[in-house]
Amino acid sequence: MPSTAAPIVSLRGVGKLFGTGTRALDGLDLDVREGEFLSLLGPSGCGKSTALRIIAGLSEPSRGSVSWRDGADARRGIGFVFQEPTLMPWTTVFGNVFLPLKLAGTDKVAAAPRIMETLARVGLADFAHAYPRELSGGMRMRVSIARALVTAPRVLLMDEPFAALDEITRFKLNDDLVALWRELSMTVVFVTHSVFESVFLSSRIVVMTSRPGRVSSELAIDAPVRDAHFRTSAEYAGYCRVTSEALHQAIRTPAGVAA
């Protein structure tokens, strides 16, 4: 992916002060470039989830600006995956994936092929008529991803989606996510506190400091192939070491001194 592509969305001097007095973000500058897989990595409470919610428009910044390259309407073209699967328990897998299209006024018959195609993409074609409670945690997360993908979003925002899953499931979903990102050539912004996950997935990692949250450093991960082999390679271990050091640096740096 070209790292020089024009940013699809830019945050400039973004600050977020909550009513409780918590300063979640202060002076955050961040560019999301077209087609990249960007991870926001940082300790708990560094405001990375808040930054994601601000990009999504679910939260308004107290200060600073968020600008979309193609105008504010571009915000319509995003998908969001929460830390929890956040499915509607009263409807089937099909019904859950149908939701974004239904809200946009598409009727069920017209939407069906697209829904089935998206379910097949995440490996759930046989589970269209299952209810969420009948599925495992990993499968529920796949449904959540399918729901985000069904509108063919240009930007996919993911808020620690795999944090609550076991390691085997997480590895599998990481593999599948990388494949989906390449196949669909979307832009992904991925929030995580896992060094290993961020290195495996990302084309670029932004490390954040906490209280207040702002950018501490950024790293490009240039490995072209992301597979089981990459996960055990010396190259991967090397990237993990560098990223880990950057994260420690971010944690050690007193708030307000970070460059």
**Residue 108 binds other proteins, judged by CB under 8 A:** no
Please report how close the Cβ of residue 254 comes to other proteins at its closest, in angstroms. Answer: 33
Element of type H or E holding 236: helix 234-252
Cβ closest to other proteins, residue 186 vs residue 215: 186
**Residue 176 binds other proteins, judged by CB under 8 A:** no
Stretch that binds other proteins, among 9-17, 77-85, 180-188, 222-230 (CB under 8 A): 77-85
Element of type H or E holding 168: helix 167-184
Angle between helices 167-184 and 137-149 (to 10 degrees): 20
Query: How far is 60 from 133, CA to CA, in rounded Å?
Result: 34
**Residue 56 binds other proteins, judged by CB under 8 A:** yes
**Positions in 122-141 near other proteins (CB under 8 A):** 131-133
**Residue 42 binds other proteins, judged by CB under 8 A:** no
* CA distances, 182 to each of 69, 177, 259 (Å): 22, 9, 33
**Residue 103 binds other proteins, judged by CB under 8 A:** yes
Angle between helices 137-149 and 108-121 (to 10 degrees): 130
**Residue 88 binds other proteins, judged by CB under 8 A:** yes
Reference 49, options 29, 25, 65, 69; nearest CA is 25
Report phi then psi at 144, rounded to 5.
-60, -40
Residue among 67, 102, 120, 227 that touches other proteins (CB under 8 A)? 102
Residue among 22, 72, 76, 120 that touches other proteins (CB under 8 A)? 76
CB atoms within 10 A of CB 9: 21
Please report how close the Cβ of residue 109 comes to other proteins at its closest, in angstroms. Answer: 18
**Positions in 147-166 near other proteins (CB under 8 A):** 151
**Residue 82 binds other proteins, judged by CB under 8 A:** yes
**Residue 115 binds other proteins, judged by CB under 8 A:** no
Cβ closest to other proteins, residue 42 vs residue 79: 79
CB distance 134 to 96 below 8 Å: no
CB atoms within 10 A of CB 40: 29
Element of type H or E holding 142: helix 137-149
Cβ closest to other proteins, residue 62 vs residue 86: 86
Cβ closest to other proteins, residue 99 vs residue 240: 99
* DSSP letter assigned to residue 77: G
Please report how close the Cβ of residue 186 comes to other proteins at its closest, in angstroms. Answer: 16
Please report how close the Cβ of residue 105 comes to other proteins at its closest, in angstroms. Answer: 10
Give the interface with other proteins as residue ranges (CB under 8 A): 56-58, 76, 78, 80, 82, 84, 86, 88-91, 99-100, 102-104, 131-133, 151
